[in-house]
């Protein structure tokens, strides 16, 4: 067995591929790109990634939900576990509207860069390496998000996922067939031995603390609810304060309550991102307010506590203001704890390469949280300038991108050894 110092990551090639993929679906004005899952532009992105997989002579497989896998075979017999249960790397290449060029693309293309390092050195891994690009991570057109990895991990039946109706009325399965990515493989058939996902942080912590590498030890639980407040419209000039049933004020009171809850907790994050009031007229007390609540916490008990306190506050507010309040659960994922052994390896690789590093929590959802249901998993983060993502201004310095990919390569080499 050779030492892994013989493997060299081609950073320039990785950066070039990020730029090339980022030009597919480019927005006319805003400097971003839009590759909504299963659109023509996303098909073009898939085609490009598959072409790059074939350039590397990978075995390309598509599953029934459209997840794309490129596998570098191991130097082992077919019967060996190391052939059939690969180390999996990956992420996704679909985007939100007017997105940056990194996000999921970075994890997929860094996976290809790792495989390329093997190819260019002419060495084979002892365990197969599979690079995956999961379908519809963003959930812009079809709900839920992280759908491809969720189906892959058995959390959603593939036929149910294929029957999903999009916000444009289309059926996901039809669109998948239309773009030519309705594969034959059953989701989950390539069972990963381990899974590692490299990603930009999408938050401000690494930059703020001037740390190079994030060793992501867990991923927050997410609770999304839609809250509907039904009050009474009335004249703003003639209705005394104590006779009001102001749905807009109740929404505002919830927002200020949640801010206090978040500050007190220290770990819970709370956001009202969407809010609409009716009739939305300057001199009419709002009759109705519909808003969403996004609660997150790395600890399930604390997340449940936040949900309970919110529910209590809604009951109190309904009584105090004389309004009706209904809530609807939209999304609920428990926190995910990543694999301790993988975390140690990532930390050791970052240290060996001389990069400052810290354990941290992922605030966003990622495919890794789904794959963690079926295989030991972990994530590696690189800094995001200003914490900005889902935006053309999303940015990570080139050398930071290459450093992250080098940590990934180092981890892979340690886990698959060389032939």
Give one word for 191, left, alpha or beta, with left for phi > 0 and alpha for psi -120 to 50. beta
String marking each residue 311-350 x if it binds a second copy according to CB under 8 A = -------------------x--------------------
Q: How far is CA 306 from each of CA 94, 298, 315, 316, 326, rounded to the nearest angstrom?
A: 32, 12, 14, 15, 17
Which residue from 131, 180, 134 is spatially nearest to 156, judged by alpha carbons?
134
Cα-trace Rg, the chain: 23
Single out the residue of 92, 193, 390, 415 in contact with a second copy (rule: CB under 8 A): 390
Nearer to a second copy, 74 or 102 (CB): 102
Which residues, 6 or more positions from 163, have their beta carbon under 8 angstroms from its beta carbon? 171, 172, 173
Q: How far is CA 150 from each of CA 138, 159, 220, 371, rounded to the nearest angstrom?
A: 12, 13, 16, 7
Give one word for 340, left, alpha or beta, with left for phi > 0 and alpha for psi -120 to 50. alpha
Cβ 199 to a second copy shortest distance, Å:
11
Single out the residue of 15, 26, 177, 255 in contact with a second copy (rule: CB under 8 A): 255
Single out the residue of 49, 161, 251, 412 in contact with a second copy (rule: CB under 8 A): 251
Single out the residue of 59, 80, 294, 334 in contact with a second copy (rule: CB under 8 A): 294
Structure tokens at 251: 């929404």
Nearer to a second copy, 61 or 317 (CB): 317
Residues numbered 161-200 forming contacts with a second copy, rule: CB under 8 A:
none
Partner residues linked to 378 by β-bridges: 196
On the 0-12 / 13-18 / 19+ scale of CB atoms within 10 A, 310 is buried
259 is an interface residue for a second copy by CB under 8 A:
yes
String marking each residue 217-236 x if it binds a second copy according to CB under 8 A = ---x-x-x--------xxxx
Cβ 254 to a second copy shortest distance, Å:
8
Cβ 175 to a second copy shortest distance, Å:
22
363 is an interface residue for a second copy by CB under 8 A:
yes
CB 1 within 8 A of CB 127: no
Single out the residue of 30, 51, 281, 311 in contact with a second copy (rule: CB under 8 A): 281
Q: Tell how many helices (H) and how many strands (E) occur in the chain.
A: 13, 16
Partner residues linked to 228 by β-bridges: 290, 326
263 is an interface residue for a second copy by CB under 8 A:
yes
Single out the residue of 42, 94, 137, 246 in contact with a second copy (rule: CB under 8 A): 246
272 is an interface residue for a second copy by CB under 8 A:
yes
Contacts with a second copy, residue ranges (CB under 8 A)? 201-205, 208, 220, 222, 224, 233-241, 243, 246, 248-249, 251-256, 259, 262-263, 269-277, 280-286, 292, 294, 296, 330, 362-365, 387-391
């Amino acid at each position: 067995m050779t030492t892994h110092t013989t493997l060299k990551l081609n950073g320039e090639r990785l950066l070039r591929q990020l730029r090339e993929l980022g030009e597919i679906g480019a927005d006319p004005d805003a400097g971003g790109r839009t590759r909504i899952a299963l659109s023509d532009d996303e098909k073009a992105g898939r085609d490009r990634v598959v072409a790059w997989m074939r350039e590397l002579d990978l075995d390309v497989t598509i599953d029934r939900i459209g997840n794309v896998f490129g596998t570098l075979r191991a130097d082992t017999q077919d019967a060996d576990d190391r052939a059939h249960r690969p180390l999996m790397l990956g992420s996704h290449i679909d985007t939100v509207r007017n997105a940056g060029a990194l996000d999921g693309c970075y994890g997929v293309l860094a996976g290809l860069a790792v495989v390329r390092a093997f190819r260019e050195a002419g060495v084979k891994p002892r365990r197969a390496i599979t690079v995956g690009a999961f379908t519809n991570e963003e959930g812009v057109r079809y709900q839920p998000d992280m759908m491809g990895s969720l189906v892959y991990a058995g959390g959603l039946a593939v036929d149910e996922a294929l029957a999903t109706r999009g916000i444009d009325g289309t059926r996901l399965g039809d669109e998948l067939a239309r773009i030519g990515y309705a594969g034959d493989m059953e989701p989950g058939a390539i069972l990963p031995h381990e899974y590692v996902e490299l990603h930009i942080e999408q938050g401000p912590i690494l930059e703020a603390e001037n740390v190079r590498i994030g060793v992501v030890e867990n991923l927050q639980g997410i609770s999304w609810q839609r809250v509907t407040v039904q009050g009474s419209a009335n004249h703003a000039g003639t209705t005394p304060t104590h006779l009001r049933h102001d749905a807009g004020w109740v929404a505002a009171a919830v927002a200020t309550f949640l801010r206090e809850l978040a500050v007190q907790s220290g770990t819970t994050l709370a956001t009202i991102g969407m809010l609409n009031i009716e009739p939305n007229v300057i001199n009419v007390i709002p009759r109705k307010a519909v808003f969403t609540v996004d609660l997150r916490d790395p600890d399930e008990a604390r997340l449940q506590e936040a949900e309970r306190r919110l529910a209590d506050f809604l009951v109190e507010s309904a009584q105090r203001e004389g309004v009706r309040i209904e809530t609807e659960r939209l999304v609920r994922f428990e926190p995910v704890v990543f694999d301790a052994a993988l975390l140690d390896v990532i930390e050791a690789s970052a240290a060996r390469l001389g990069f400052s590093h810290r354990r941290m929590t992922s605030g966003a959802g990622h495919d890794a949280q789904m794959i963690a249901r079926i295989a030991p998993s972990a994530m590696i983060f690189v800094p995001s300038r200003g914490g900005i993502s889902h935006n053309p201004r999303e940015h990570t310095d080139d050398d930071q991108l290459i450093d992250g990919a080098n940590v990934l390569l180092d981890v892979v080499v340690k886990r698959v050894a060389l032939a």
